[in-house]
Structure 1
Amino acid sequence: MTQQLLQQLVEMRGIETQYVDAWGKPATIAESSKAKLLNTLGYDTSSDEKIQSQITQDIKSVWLSPLNPVQVVRNTQDIILAVRLPIELVNDDHTLTVTCENGDVLTHQFTPVDQEMTTMAHIDDVEFHEYVVTLPLDLPLGYHDVALSADDDEFAHSRLIVAPEACYTPSEIKEGKKIWGLSVQLYCVRSEKNWGIGDFTDLALLIEKAAGVGADFIGLNPIHALYPANPNACSPYGPSSRRWLNYLYIDVTAIDGYDDASVQTVVSSDEFKATLEHARSVEHVDYEAVAHVKLAALKAVFDVYDVKYLRKNTKQNKAFKAFVEAGGESLDMLAVYDALQSHLKADGKESWGWPVFPQEFKDYHNPAVAKFKSANQHEVKFYLFLQWIAAQQLEAASNKATDAGMTIGLYRDLAVGVSEGSAEIWGNKDLYCTGASVGAPPDILGPLGQNWGLPPMDPRKLYEQAYQPIIDLFASNMASSGSLRIDHVMALLRLWWVVKGDHAKDGGYIYYPVDDLLGILALESHRNESLVIGEDLGTVPEEIRGKLADNGVYSYRVFFFEQAEDGGFFSPSHYPVQSMSTLTTHDMPTLIGYWHCLDLELGKEIGLYPTEEILQTLYADRHENKQSILDTLHGHGSIGDNVGRDVNHTGMNRELNNGMQVHMAGGSSALLSLQLEDWLEMDKPVNIPGTFNEYPNWRRKLTENIESMFDRHDINELASKLTHARKRASQG
């Protein structure tokens, strides 16, 4: 196999051969990794002949397509389409017909030979020409259909996406207002009434309370659909579907029908009450217990609601049917998947995900799945009902933020992928490469690299599907919110693919059509009036930061990562205005945990550090960093003399904790996000990256009910200081 031929295919498929690593040094992808990545993309690299044949076929398929499947243009640019035709047709009159999203139909007639020819090729002894055709049409923003015809014969179709120059920013933020809000993992929330896990009613109450003390947003973890039949698969970053919601956040008691005698019989049983009391009282979310009581109660409520509303000509049934129709195949596949997984589990069969389903059920489009759906319509309808109710309750919480006058309201979080056994992959296997996983190359936080167990989308398949899956993702996750945070925003440019069975460090970068994806993001941002935040941590090329900023995406600045070469911490007043700043994240220790090195102690206990030498280096670095933080805070007058200046004698206390938060509030970032855990002075993290069963990730609850925490004088005083500091920063 000649490397030159392999390299040609590598470049055609957007595999990066060289990159700059997290330490600023050039790195090269191994030849073996290139071949494996191509294999994962469906190519046979066993011989030169096979590689050449596949290159030829790829080129041929492009030339035999008169129009590209999709094109994204900005509304400030000329609309230029590529048209490819055999030479015998280039002198004929052709028509491009654009059917706009609003129904308007516009046409443009042209003769190909009169246009600019860009290239030519011979395919099966036929000469083909490619021309660029400028459409002299003023098209609105949106998704438009394009048809190419000659002599009234339509023979090619394409999608034309017209997008704005940049993402949406609320007018108040544009005018310089600086705001703060709270980030919360919704499942962690305690309240007087919830069933052992935070729910959408809790969220509405948190919004009301936080808005009352000056917050302008509540930031959520991903609230994507997980696995009703496998509740311990609880990571919000490894969902079953990113388009739909986690039913566990439904407040069962708020659904019409909960007070029915049949439902009350279920929830009043001794077994139910004992399980519910256990779920409410334990320190960590017991997903098995929560799912047990919620599913039992929800099924009872559904049976009542179904008879009362969903089998008759009622406004509720009309709304439900409209929701199901709008959800289309994506919603149907999730409901069928959840029902099927539940049946397999009940029958004692392997059921963690579609890879272990019986052969006839391994694909949503199989006849056996359609037969299962037909035979289990009531149960499938139940899972559709759960999504409908969840969407309503989330919207009610979002409306509470609007009514409270929050500048942003809810900000949601879009995970970078779905887990291998997910419904999202089960229903669109062509799109996902299940022979690989998304991850990260070696960097400071993960010196061995990272493998996240999330199969990536094939960028070519995404393009061939006219970007519909990504459009649906953006639109659905911007619903019922005022902002969207995109986890690992670098995925819009490139993703680190790790072939199944390989070490994470042996992966490689695959490029995505970043300009097209940013255009779609900008369009959906304006449609949904959603400010976009890109989590741009890790190995990030400088050019992408500029591109994201130009497209109106807000950067993500974490205080502990904003360090100068001398070890000092940059003042938050030097952060970009177009950013959201924060002290810590869900992947980091709390302020108390950081200061007292509890994360390092915990890491040692669970075996995260290979050697004692590595651990001692981390302790030494932490000691120096804490001293630099004290120097910074004192230098800016953010803490008083009550807080010591020598790290050897200064522990974390409330004044230091609050001083760090108010220090951030005086910064230049338009948005400041603070963790509710730090308000409650908690010491344990919610997640430890790189662990699975070693630590109860995604389970640790808050230490106080939301009803009482906002009655505390110290909480209200901190909120007042934050609001005052943000107002001062707004005035420059």
Structure 2
Amino acid sequence: MSQDPSPPVTDRWGIDASWLDALDTEHTVEQATIDLLREVIGEPPADLEDTAPIVVRPGDALEVDEAVVVLEDGTSRDVDGELPEDFPLGYHRIRTPDGRDRLLVVTPGRCWLPEDRSWGWAVQLYAARGTGSAGIGDLADLRTVRELAESQGAGFVLVNPLHAVGPGPEQEDSPYLPATRRFRNPLYLRLDDVPGVQLTDADRALAAELNGAELIDRDAVWAFKRAVLERSFDADAEGFRDWWWHQGQPLQDWATWAAVADAHGANWPDWPAELQDPRSDGVRRWVADHEQQVAFHAWLQWLLDGQLSVATGDLTVIQDLPIGVSGGGADAWAWQDVLAQGGVSVGAPPDAFNAAGQDWGSPPLVPWRLRAADYEPFVESIRSTMAGAGGLRIDHVMGLFRLWWVPGNDPTAGAYVRYPAEDMLGIVALESHRAKAVVVGEDLGTVEDGVREAMAEHGVLSYRLLWFEDDAPSSWPAASMGAITTHDLPTVAGLWTGSDVREQVELGTGEEEQLEKDRRQLLAHLTGHAEGPAKRSTPGRAVEAAHRLLATAPCTLLSATLDDALAVERRPNVPGAMERPNWRLPLPVPVEELAGHRGVRSVARALGTGIPPL
């Protein structure tokens, strides 16, 4: 057992010289790793602390005296030493007598929180197909799920990331490796709700064929939808041009990247040199020569904006923010000076669940460059994901504090790099306040000391799972979202029948003896029964028992998956199992039939809605 390891030493590049694993064993980072990461990060500028944004709350002391603050609305206020308690929230500019001009972010410090506790459904939207879908769950299906939730007295719906991937024929299956965290995936468009679309009998036959497939085939779905959308494209549709203009440079960058990706592939470092800089004359000339192609991708986002608004209605829809983006994607192209170059990515160190560690494939933001960029990539990603839905779940929220940087695809040779967590949490709180959006931080796995305390201080809800917690749900903190499982963990039915253990053994992602031991312990914790089918019960009863246990938690939010309610045995994703059809498993029941499904009603009753039994 390790003995009171000292806090890690962090250098001016933000690199920790050591780290603690889940067993509190201290590990020293190899000097070769530190040297490599320093080279990738680059030397922070000497005047960074005098030029980087200041993030404060009203009433806080300032780092500067006798300054003029130019507010967002264009008016000015003099400040001297500290901000008044009534100072307006927002993104302002502070100007000092010596000529310095820097961003001043005034934040409420705490995220917006709902007044009442509530429960809701967690759904992998791509899996929630309905009779009108075309092979994949779409925004019209989200509307059906939302209306179901409202009818049952639920307060929210939690969905997987809806962010866009590359527009080419080979679609990325994982929602957690998008090309952008600012714009949405046109795969989720309902064609029947697109103005001007006229589907032929052949179109409807193909849509039905795609909808009947055993697995979700994004490539085939996108080929079909894109063909219909291209022939229906109307660059002069009423309201489109005005909406596009108001989106400004971010949408122009996305639409440009997507149009160039159609011509040269979805990896910008492979493009012709004159197109690799988004602000170059070469890109401007290319856009001028391909106006219709750029407009098409902007039009798709206009459609998505309208359909999402209808889908979410007045209910809180919590959208998921991935930890990063693909290195060849649109955000990486637009912000290539802020993202780390040189073959490093984000991941996780070795632990008890994965001795080789993990490489998630996304290039990390360089902390000092992020500050020098006035946090623009972070602000836009947070704001865009919250937009129009009222909730945000931050995947791997520990990344606001530190991230495991993986050099050369070897997670065992990585190191933690520190981020300006206090500033980033303040920005999250400001965006949450403005959007009236609840924020949940996915703080699962190894969480260092101080993270959950900082989350609580800033009003970010913790994430508590029956899967991981030893304490009874009744003792969980109120400032949290409670759930049984996630997309990366077994379903209750998969545990109950033992099928999840059998699949893991077949995939080589665990040893049968240990997996079976863990399964029995977890079943005993979830339902009070360790024997599974031998108890002559059913997966449905196990699911209901687990949710009755969950209902005892005092959490602000309680989340139930549709996979569990439908007694689905295969989880959406098994991390590291590349040969498995991860992110491609549809739900076994059309969304229109969910309201009458016994399991769905049972879970809703267990979480306190009072729906009478069938």
TM-score, with length taken from structure 1: 0.78
Q: CA deviation at 1:191?
A: 0.6
Instruction: Specify the alignment match of 1:461 in structure 2.
Output: 369
Instruction: Specify the alignment match of 1:636 in structure 2.
Output: none
Q: CA deviation at 1:713?
A: 4.4
Question: Are residue 253 (structure 1) and residue 192 (structure 2) matched?
Answer: yes
- Distance in 2, matches of 1:26 and 1:725, equals 50
- Which secondary structure does the structure 2 equivalent of 1:475 belong to? helix
Indicate which of 23, 30, 52 corresponds to 1:69.
52
Aligned residue type for 2:474 = S
Aligned residue type for 1:705 = P
Contact 2:59 2:82 in 1 (8 A): no
Instruction: Specify the alignment match of 2:492 in structure 1.
Output: 591
- Distance in 2, matches of 1:168 and 1:343, equals 43
1:145-164 correspondence runs (5 A)? 145-149=93-97, 155-164=99-108
- Distance in 2, matches of 1:624 and 1:81, equals 53
Q: Identify if the C-alpha distance between structure 1 residues 285 and 136 changes in structure 2 by more than 3 Å, giving closer, same or farther.
A: closer
For structure 1, which segment, 437-446 or 527-536, has the greater mean C-alpha deviation from structure 2 after superposition?
Answer: 437-446
Aligned residue type for 1:525 = S
Instruction: Specify the alignment match of 1:119 in structure 2.
Output: none
Deviations 1:196-242 (A, max 9, x none): 11111111111112211221111000101112214421211000010
Contact 1:438 1:456 in 2 (8 A): yes
Instruction: Specify the alignment match of 1:578 in structure 2.
Output: 479
Contact 2:497 2:539 in 1 (8 A): no
Indicate which of 507, 521, 524 corresponds to 2:428.
521
Deviations 1:61-80 (A, max 9, x none): 44xx8x423100012423x1
1:517-556 correspondence runs (5 A)? 517-556=424-463
- Distance in 1, matches of 2:543 and 2:445, equals 26
Say what the alpha-carbon RMSD is for the aligned residues.
Answer: 2.3
Deviations 1:565-617 (A, max 9, x none): xxxxx2110111110011110111211112233223222323334xxxx3322
Aligned residue type for 2:245 = E
Indicate which of 386, 400, 413 corresponds to 2:300.
386
- Which secondary structure does the structure 2 equivalent of 1:549 belong to? helix
Deviations 1:94-153 (A, max 9, x none): x622111122211358xxxxxxxxxxxxxxxxxxxxxxx546685211111112236xxx
Q: CA deviation at 1:714?
A: 4.7
Question: Are residue 327 (structure 1) and residue 257 (structure 2) matched?
Answer: no
Question: Are residue 511 (structure 1) and residue 387 (structure 2) matched?
Answer: no
Instruction: Specify the alignment match of 1:100 in structure 2.
Output: 71
Question: Are residue 366 (structure 1) and residue 252 (structure 2) matched?
Answer: no
Q: CA deviation at 1:388?
A: 0.9
- Distance in 2, matches of 1:245 and 1:574, equals 38
Contact 1:163 1:519 in 2 (8 A): yes
Q: CA deviation at 1:492?
A: 0.8
Indicate which of 142, 146, 149 corresponds to 1:210.
149
Instruction: Specify the alignment match of 2:549 in structure 1.
Output: 663
- Distance in 1, matches of 2:9 and 2:451, equals 25
Contact 1:581 1:673 in 2 (8 A): yes
1:395-434 correspondence runs (5 A)? 395-399=309-313, 402=314, 406=315, 409-434=316-341
Contact 1:224 1:241 in 2 (8 A): yes
- Distance in 2, matches of 1:276 and 1:629, equals 40
Instruction: Specify the alignment match of 1:299 in structure 2.
Output: 230
- Distance in 1, matches of 2:522 and 2:84, equals 59
Indicate which of 405, 410, 417 corresponds to 1:497.
405
Instruction: Specify the alignment match of 1:232 in structure 2.
Output: 171
- Which secondary structure does the structure 2 equivalent of 1:34 belong to? helix
Contact 2:153 2:609 in 1 (8 A): no
Question: Are residue 685 (structure 1) and residue 592 (structure 2) matched?
Answer: no
Indicate which of 158, 168, 175 corresponds to 2:112.
168
1:337-352 correspondence runs (5 A)? 337-344=257-264, 351-352=265-266
- Distance in 2, matches of 1:413 and 1:678, equals 19
Question: Are residue 290 (structure 1) and residue 217 (structure 2) matched?
Answer: no
- Distance in 2, matches of 1:283 and 1:355, equals 36
1:72-91 correspondence runs (5 A)? 72-78=55-61, 80-82=62-64
Q: Identify if the C-alpha distance between structure 1 residues 13 and 714 changes in structure 2 by more than 3 Å, giving closer, same or farther.
A: closer
Contact 1:230 1:352 in 2 (8 A): no
- Which secondary structure does the structure 2 equivalent of 1:225 belong to? coil
Q: CA deviation at 1:322?
A: 3.9
- Which secondary structure does the structure 2 equivalent of 1:453 belong to? coil
Q: CA deviation at 1:338?
A: 1.2
Contact 1:442 1:449 in 2 (8 A): yes
Instruction: Specify the alignment match of 1:261 in structure 2.
Output: none
Contact 2:135 2:217 in 1 (8 A): yes
- Distance in 2, matches of 1:487 and 1:395, equals 23
- Which secondary structure does the structure 1 equivalent of 2:389 belong to? coil
Contact 1:627 1:647 in 2 (8 A): no
- Distance in 1, matches of 2:242 and 2:384, equals 16
Q: CA deviation at 1:646?
A: 4.9
Instruction: Specify the alignment match of 1:268 in structure 2.
Output: 200
- Distance in 1, matches of 2:532 and 2:599, equals 25
Contact 1:40 1:499 in 2 (8 A): no
Contact 2:396 2:442 in 1 (8 A): yes
Q: Identify if the C-alpha distance between structure 1 residues 524 and 449 changes in structure 2 by more than 3 Å, giving closer, same or farther.
A: same
Aligned residue type for 1:165 = G
Deviations 1:350-377 (A, max 9, x none): x241132233333323333222211110
- Distance in 2, matches of 1:722 and 1:160, equals 44
Deviations 1:412-436 (A, max 9, x none): 1111100111110011110100321
Deviations 1:277-319 (A, max 9, x none): 321110211111111111111112213xx35x3xxxxxx33xx
- Distance in 1, matches of 2:591 and 2:210, equals 17
Indicate which of 137, 147, 159 corresponds to 1:198.
137
Deviations 1:428-461 (A, max 9, x none): 1101003210001112322221110000001111
Q: Identify if the C-alpha distance between structure 1 residues 285 and 138 changes in structure 2 by more than 3 Å, giving closer, same or farther.
A: same
Q: Identify if the C-alpha distance between structure 1 residues 645 and 699 changes in structure 2 by more than 3 Å, giving closer, same or farther.
A: closer
Q: Identify if the C-alpha distance between structure 1 residues 434 and 595 changes in structure 2 by more than 3 Å, giving closer, same or farther.
A: farther
Structure 2, gaps ≥5 residues long: 1-7
- Distance in 1, matches of 2:292 and 2:283, equals 15
Instruction: Specify the alignment match of 2:393 in structure 1.
Output: 485
Instruction: Specify the alignment match of 2:597 in structure 1.
Output: 712
Q: Identify if the C-alpha distance between structure 1 residues 205 and 573 changes in structure 2 by more than 3 Å, giving closer, same or farther.
A: same
- Distance in 2, matches of 1:713 and 1:256, equals 37
Instruction: Specify the alignment match of 1:36 in structure 2.
Output: 36
Instruction: Specify the alignment match of 2:121 in structure 1.
Output: 182
- Distance in 2, matches of 1:574 and 1:157, equals 49
Higher Cα radius of gyration: 1
Aligned residue type for 1:559 = L
- Which secondary structure does the structure 2 equivalent of 1:27 belong to? strand
Identity %: 34
- Distance in 2, matches of 1:73 and 1:684, equals 46
- Distance in 1, matches of 2:358 and 2:140, equals 36
TM-score, with length taken from structure 2: 0.93
Aligned residue type for 2:279 = H
Question: Are residue 141 (structure 1) and residue 74 (structure 2) matched?
Answer: no
- Distance in 2, matches of 1:446 and 1:646, equals 27
